[in-house]
């Protein structure tokens, strides 16, 4: 009797990680009814992280109305785990899907993130785990900081509205009288610095709608903020992950006194993944698109690195396969398969994603059964 571990990320815009697990288990049992299957829906710090922790550890789901990416009210959910830790995603109030067709990082804000942290503090929370994936913002976390009482001043001492378009004007960051009382660890799936060619603006800005001169201004603003914070005795520019979520990684370090940790590793530890591997035969993982960037902390590679240490093979079932995807083979992924069967736009993929995934897991299980018969 085979034992399978199912540990996918969400396939953003199409299927949640839990939905992917359900399709995979159905396909496995069609061929091996007695198989032992462990579902472990994953997240790397973005969409689905709170649900992943609640699914593994249990706890309470909490909702709060806070500011969205353009200060519109949004209802954001987060989890409180049995040990009292809050698990939240910045994307719940400042994520790209909330921006809709308005992709404008110069004016998008992380203000709601600060409000969400205050809400958790009001419930007596002492520790928070904050996921940094999927942002619509590029404000270095100054919006979040403003919601927590920080003030930002220009060269005349005048107050500056805490938006990315104004970062170049800031000369001083003034601490609040009362600091946030809870400690924050940020789950971060990238190692990018705050500014420069690999920084927040140039690496992630285009997917948020920034081009040309806007990218130049955003990068200059982040560079200026690094200088402002350095004068306050806070060095963030070159810390790996400072550029995550439009510089919110740096904001967590500077304004919250927090820490950055790899999101996948934190969740795998919470789940006891290493112990699960002790009698596993095969791990299925995956994400919407696997490519060369996946080696930088994405779920499939995080899972594969752990499995490689235990000698357990890993098969990645993904929506699509991008450039340089073969880089993941050196990290422990045994094979990659794509679920998309037909060419078309993303709207077409959304309509066929479930049957496409069913077809893929069936094909892979047929291949595994053939291999077993050939032994």
pLDDT digits (tens, 9 = 90+) for 273-285: 999 999 999 999 9
Cα 273 from Cα 257, distance rounded (Å): 29
Among 246, 263, 280, the domain boundary falls at 263
Residues 30, 159 within the same domain: no
Q: In what order do the strands lie in the sheet with 86-89?
A: 60-67, 73-80, 86-89, 127-131, 183-188, 259-262
Residues 187, 310 within the same domain: no
Residues 243, 144 within the same domain: yes
pLDDT in tens, 186-229: 998 888 999 999 999 999 999 999 999 999 999 999 999 999 99
Structure-block tokens of residue 40: 């472990």
In percent, the amount of the chain with pLDDT more than 70 equals: 98
In percent, the amount of the chain with pLDDT more than 90 equals: 83
**Band (344; pLDDT cuts 50, 70, 90):** low
Residues 335, 214 within the same domain: no
Residues 206, 285 within the same domain: no
Residue for token pair 């890993």: 314
Residues 68, 119 within the same domain: yes
Mean pLDDT for all residues in the chain: 94
Residues 189, 172 within the same domain: yes
Among 235, 263, 291, the domain boundary falls at 263
Q: What is the mean pLDDT of residues 268-277?
A: 95
Cα 102 from Cα 69, distance rounded (Å): 10
Into how many domains does the chain fold? 2
Residues 76, 137 within the same domain: yes
Residue 333: domain span:
3-41+272-374
pLDDT at 374 over 80: no
Using alpha carbons, select from 296, 352, 341, 291 the residue that is nearest to residue 316.
291
Q: What is the mean pLDDT of residues 94-112?
A: 95
For residue 153, the domain's CATH number is 3.90.1510.10
Residues 207, 122 within the same domain: yes
pLDDT in tens, 135-193: 999 999 999 999 999 999 999 999 999 999 999 999 999 999 999 999 999 998 888 99
Least confident interval from 39-53, 149-163, 263-277: 39-53
pLDDT at 375 over 60: no
pLDDT at 298 over 90: no
Residues 185, 77 within the same domain: yes
Using alpha carbons, select from 180, 141, 196 the residue that is nearest to residue 163.
141
pLDDT at 248 over 90: yes
Residues 251, 325 within the same domain: no
pLDDT of the residue at 221: 98
Q: What is the mean pLDDT of residues 348-354?
A: 81
Residues 207, 335 within the same domain: no
Give the 3-state secondary structure of 56-70.
Answer: HHCCEEEEEEEECCC
Among 263, 286, 319, the domain boundary falls at 263
For residue 289, the domain's CATH number is 3.40.50.10350
């Amino acid at each position: 009797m085979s034992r399978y571990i199912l540990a996918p990320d969400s396939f953003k815009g199409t299927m949640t990680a839990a939905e992917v697990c359900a399709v995979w288990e159905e396909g496995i049992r069609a061929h091996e009814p007695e198989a032992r299957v462990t579902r472990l829906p994953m997240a790397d710090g973005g969409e689905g992280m709170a649900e992943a922790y609640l699914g593994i550890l249990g706890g309470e789901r909490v909702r709060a109305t806070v500011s969205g990416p353009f200060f519109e009210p949004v209802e954001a959910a987060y989890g409180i785990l049995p040990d009292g830790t809050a698990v939240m995603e910045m994307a719940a109030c400042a994520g790209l899907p909330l921006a809709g067709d308005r992709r404008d990082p110069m004016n998008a804000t992380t203000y709601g993130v600060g409000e969400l942290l205050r809400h958790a503090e009001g419930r007596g929370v002492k520790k928070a785990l904050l996921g940094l994936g999927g942002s619509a913002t590029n404000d270095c976390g100054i919006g979040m900081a403003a919601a927590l009482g920080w003030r930002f001043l220009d060269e005349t001492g005048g107050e500056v509205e805490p938006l990315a378009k104004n970062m170049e004007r800031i000369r001083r960051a003034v601490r609040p009288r009362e600091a946030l009382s809870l400690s924050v660890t940020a789950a971060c799936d990238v190692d990018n610095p705050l500014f420069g060619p690999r920084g927040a603006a140039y690496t992630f800005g285009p997917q948020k709608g920034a081009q040309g001169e806007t990218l130049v201004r955003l990068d200059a603003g982040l560079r200026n903020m690094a200088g402002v914070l350095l004068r306050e005795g806070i060095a963030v520019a070159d810390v790996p992950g400072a550029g995550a979520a439009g510089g919110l990684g740096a904001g967590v370090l500077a304004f919250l006194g927090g820490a950055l940790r790899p999101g996948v590793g934190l969740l795998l530890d919470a789940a006891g993944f290493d112990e699960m591997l002790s009698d596993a035969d095969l791990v299925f993982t995956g994400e919407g698109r696997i490519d060369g960037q996946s080696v930088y902390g994405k779920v499939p590679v995080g899972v594969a690195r752990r499995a490689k240490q235990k000698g357990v093979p890993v098969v990645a079932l993904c929506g699509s396969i991008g450039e340089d995807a073969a880089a993941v083979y050196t990290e422990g992924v045994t094979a990659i398969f794509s679920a998309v069967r037909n060419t078309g736009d993303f709207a077409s993929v959304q309509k066929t994603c479930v049957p496409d995934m069913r077809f893929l897991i069936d094909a892979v299980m047929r291949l595994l059964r053939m291999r077993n018969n050939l032994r």
